[in-house]
A and B are shown apart, each in its own frame.
Chain A
Amino acid sequence: MNGLEVRGISVRIDGTLIIDGVDCTAPAGTVTALIGPNGAGKSTLLHALAGVLPLDVGADGPVGAGGPGDEGRPPGPAGIRFAGGDLLALPRRARARTLALVEQDAGTELSLTVAEVVALGRIPHQGYFADETDHDRELARAALESVGMTDFADRDVTELSGGERQRVLLARALAQEPRLLLLDEPTNHLDIAAQLTTLRLLAGLAADGVTVVAALHDLTLAAGYSDNVIVLSHGRVVASGPTAETLTPALIGEVYGVEADILRNPRTGRPIVALSPRG
Chain B
Amino acid sequence: MAKKIWAVTLVAALLASITFAVTFGPANITPVEVWGSIAHHLGFGQSSLPPLRDSIVWELRLPRVLTAAAVGAGLALAGVVMQAITRNPLADPYLLGLSSGASLGAVAVLLLGSALLLPVAAFLGAMVALAATLLLAGAFGRITPGRTVLAGIAVSALAGAVTSLVIFWTVTGDSYREILGWLLGSLAGARWPAVGIGLAAIVVAGIPIMLSGRVLDAFAFGDTSAATLGVNVQATRWIMLTATALLTGAMVSVSGAIGFVGLILPHAVRLLVGPRHRMLLPLSALVGASFLIWADTAARSLFDPRELPVGIVTAIIGAPVFAALLARRRVNS
Instruction: List A residues at the B interface (Cβ < 8 Å).
Output: 47, 50-52, 92-97, 99-101, 103, 106-113, 116-117, 120-121, 123-124, 126, 128-129, 131, 169, 176
A51 touches B229 (CB 8 A): no
Q: Which of B24-32, B160-168, B216-224 sits within the interface?
A: B216-224
Verify if B320 is at the interface (C-beta below 8 Å from A).
no
Q: Convert B196-231 into 0s and 1s, putting 1 for each residue whose CB lies closer than 8 angstroms to a CB of A.
A: 000000000000000110110110111011011111
Verify if B193 is at the interface (C-beta below 8 Å from A).
no
B227 touches A108 (CB 8 A): no
Enumerate chain A residues within 8 angstroms of B89, measured Cβ to Cβ: 109
A131 and B332 alpha carbons, distance in the complex (Å): 32
A96 and B224 alpha carbons, distance in the complex (Å): 12
Enumerate chain B residues within 8 angstroms of A99, measured Cβ to Cβ: 228
Whether A50 touches B275, Cβ cut-off 8 Å, given contacts A109-B332, A128-B214, is no
A99 and B229 alpha carbons, distance in the complex (Å): 9
B229 touches A107 (CB 8 A): no
Enumerate chain A residues within 8 angstroms of B332, measured Cβ to Cβ: 109
A47 touches B224 (CB 8 A): yes
A126 touches B228 (CB 8 A): no
Q: Which of A96, A99, A110, A116 has the most CB of B within 10 A?
A: A110
A124 and B87 alpha carbons, distance in the complex (Å): 21
Count the A-B residue pairs with Cβ separation under 8 angstroms: how many?
75
Nearest residue, chain B, Cβ from A100: B228
A136 and B304 alpha carbons, distance in the complex (Å): 56
8 residue pairs, one from A and one from B, having the closest CB atoms:
A96-B230, A93-B230, A124-B230, A110-B275, A52-B227, A106-B221, A101-B228, A123-B229
Whether A108 touches B221, Cβ cut-off 8 Å, given contacts A123-B214, A128-B215, is yes
Enumerate chain B residues within 8 angstroms of A116, measured Cβ to Cβ: 274, 276
Verify if B48 is at the interface (C-beta below 8 Å from A).
no
Verify if B278 is at the interface (C-beta below 8 Å from A).
yes
A247 and B232 alpha carbons, distance in the complex (Å): 39
B274 touches A111 (CB 8 A): yes
Q: Convert B39-53 into 0s and 1s, putting 1 for each residue whose CB lies closer than 8 angstroms to a CB of A.
A: 000000000000000
B276 touches A96 (CB 8 A): no
- Give A216 Cβ to nearest chain B Cβ, in Å: 20
Enumerate chain A residues within 8 angstroms of B222, measured Cβ to Cβ: 106, 108
B224 touches A52 (CB 8 A): yes
B230 touches A123 (CB 8 A): yes
Known: A95-B230, A123-B214. 18 other contacts (CB 8 A): A47-B224, A50-B227, A92-B231, A93-B230, A96-B228, A99-B228, A101-B228, A103-B221, A106-B225, A108-B220, A109-B89, A110-B275, A112-B220, A112-B275, A116-B276, A124-B229, A129-B211, A169-B221
Nearest residue, chain B, Cβ from A176: B229
- Give B272 Cβ to nearest chain A Cβ, in Å: 12
- Could you give 12 example pairs across A and B, Cβ below 8 Å? A47-B224, A50-B228, A93-B230, A103-B221, A109-B332, A111-B270, A111-B274, A111-B275, A112-B275, A113-B274, A116-B276, A123-B214
- Give B286 Cβ to nearest chain A Cβ, in Å: 19
Nearest residue, chain A, Cβ from B89: A109
Enumerate chain B residues within 8 angstroms of A50, measured Cβ to Cβ: 227-228
Q: Which of A52, A95, A107 has the most CB of B within 10 A?
A: A52
A109 and B215 alpha carbons, distance in the complex (Å): 17
- Give A83 Cβ to nearest chain B Cβ, in Å: 18
Enumerate chain A residues within 8 angstroms of B220, measured Cβ to Cβ: 108, 110, 112, 117, 120
A55 and B212 alpha carbons, distance in the complex (Å): 30
- Give A228 Cβ to nearest chain B Cβ, in Å: 23
Enumerate chain B residues within 8 angstroms of A103, measured Cβ to Cβ: 221, 224-225
A98 and B217 alpha carbons, distance in the complex (Å): 20
Enumerate chain A residues within 8 angstroms of B275, measured Cβ to Cβ: 110-112
Nearest residue, chain A, Cβ from B232: A92
Nearest residue, chain B, Cβ from A157: B220
Nearest residue, chain A, Cβ from B215: A128
| Set B215, B217, B228, B276: member contacting A52, Cβ < 8 A | B228
A101 and B222 alpha carbons, distance in the complex (Å): 13
A131 touches B278 (CB 8 A): yes
B87 touches A112 (CB 8 A): no
Nearest residue, chain B, Cβ from A131: B278
Q: Which of A99, A103, A120 has the most CB of B within 10 A?
A: A120
A94 and B232 alpha carbons, distance in the complex (Å): 12
- Give A185 Cβ to nearest chain B Cβ, in Å: 15
B224 touches A106 (CB 8 A): yes
Nearest residue, chain A, Cβ from B329: A109
Nearest residue, chain B, Cβ from A173: B228
Whether A97 touches B221, Cβ cut-off 8 Å, given contacts A111-B270, A123-B214, A129-B211, is no
A121 and B278 alpha carbons, distance in the complex (Å): 16
